[in-house]
Amino acid sequence: MNETYASLDQIPSSQSHVLPYMMIEEKITQAEWSLPKEHIDAAGSVWSSIHDMSLWAQFLLRNGTTNEGNQLLSSASYNEMFTPQQLSSADDFYPTVALTKPNWMTYGLGWFQQDFQGRMIDFHTGSLSGLIALIGLDRANDKAVIVLANQDHAEMRHALLWQVMDQSLAPKDWNQLVFDLYQQQQQQFNAYIADLLKKQIKNTSPSVELQQYVGIYHNDKIGEVSIVKNADSNSLQLVFGSKEYRLLHWHYDAFYTDHPKQRVPFTVEFSLSFEGEIKNVAIFRQDFSKIGN
């Protein structure tokens, strides 16, 4: 696997690679990299190719054995990887369960799992800003599917997965079915945004001076984010890793992000204590506690 790297900056300058893209205001727009070039993240952030991922999939289909017959994974480790570790519900799974209608859903060690036409299917997606991936295994029939694409949330990956896995005598048009499913989800999201806009309380002001929102906030799972005040304007900015987002006021102590290469804004909601001080902020649906200025 000579085309697989742990971080973006390990890719040689002579090696061509894709650029990330996303749809913003009905236009295909080049996105920013989700992570710093030198950042080594989880397995989902490995930089690879269809060729190398095909080798990986074949390795898994051979029960952890190389093409030369070398056993790199013990049978115990291999079996544990695909042993269900917890039960899953439809809410914790992919929307395509509405189409595949599984009898059971589980999660292994890095694998979503379900039954489909009497067989166990192991699969997982990967998503960074402007990049998507999918690997799916039908180990009983020695089949694998790998999808890599450089457009954000290109959900045709699910159509390709189930098109390959479908062994029925009357195969379905998975491309159309998945397209319709995600179109319906987009319509529901649009309706949610429209309803949210109606609930905005006009003509309100922040509860405290902007300077009081400034500080470092910590979450045990995600880490630290910073809220800073822009020196050249009377506005706030959220700094998360290498990303910087301008904050626009929504109402009271709620703000939302504004970034030219952001597909969907997210909310930033501060909490005021009884003493009239900002102690917490909710971002990504997670609570962050203020730990310093």
44-67 pLDDT, tens per residue? 578 899 999 999 999 999 999 999
Between strands 286-292 and 278-283, the pairing is antiparallel
Q: Name the percent of the chain lying above pLDDT 70.
A: 95
CB crowding 123-161: b at 16 or more within 10 Å, else e: bbbbebbbbbbbbbbbeeeebbbbbbbbbbebbbbbbbb
- Cβ atoms of residues 288 and 280 within 8 Å: yes
Span 143-165, average pLDDT: 96
Q: What are phi and psi of 222, to 5 degrees?
A: -95, -35
Q: Name the percent of the chain lying above pLDDT 90.
A: 70
Domain ranges for the chain, please list them.
8-194, 210-292
Q: What is the mean pLDDT of the chain?
A: 91
pLDDT digit string, tens, across residues 8-22: 888 898 888 899 998
CA distance 227 to 214: 5
pLDDT at 44: 59
pLDDT digit string, tens, across residues 220-273: 988 899 999 987 778 999 998 878 889 999 999 999 998 766 677 889 999 999
| Class level of CATH domain 210-292 | mainly beta
CA distance 9 to 36: 9
CA distance 92 to 107: 10
The CA distances from residue 120 to 53, 60, 169, 191, 232, in Å, are: 21, 15, 19, 36, 58
- Cβ atoms of residues 129 and 31 within 8 Å: yes
Span 278-291, average pLDDT: 94
pLDDT digit string, tens, across residues 65-111: 999 999 999 999 999 999 999 999 999 999 999 999 999 999 999 99
Distance of CA 38 to the CA centre of its chain: 20
CA distance 162 to 145: 9
Q: Helix 156-165 to helix 174-198 angle, to the nearest 10 degrees?
A: 150
Tokens of 256: 């939302």
In this structure, the number of other CB atoms found within 10 A of the CB of residue 268 comes to: 25
CA distance 266 to 268: 7
pLDDT digit string, tens, across residues 186-227: 999 889 889 989 999 999 999 999 999 999 999 998 889 999
Instruction: Please state which of the four CATH numbers 3.40.630.30, 3.40.710.10, 2.40.50.140, 1.10.8.190 is assigned to the domain occupying 8-194.
Output: 3.40.710.10
229 secondary structure, DSSP code: E
Reported pTM: 0.82
pLDDT digit string, tens, across residues 25-37: 788 989 887 666 6
pLDDT of 43 over the 80 cut = no
Q: How far apart are the first and last CA of the chain?
A: 46
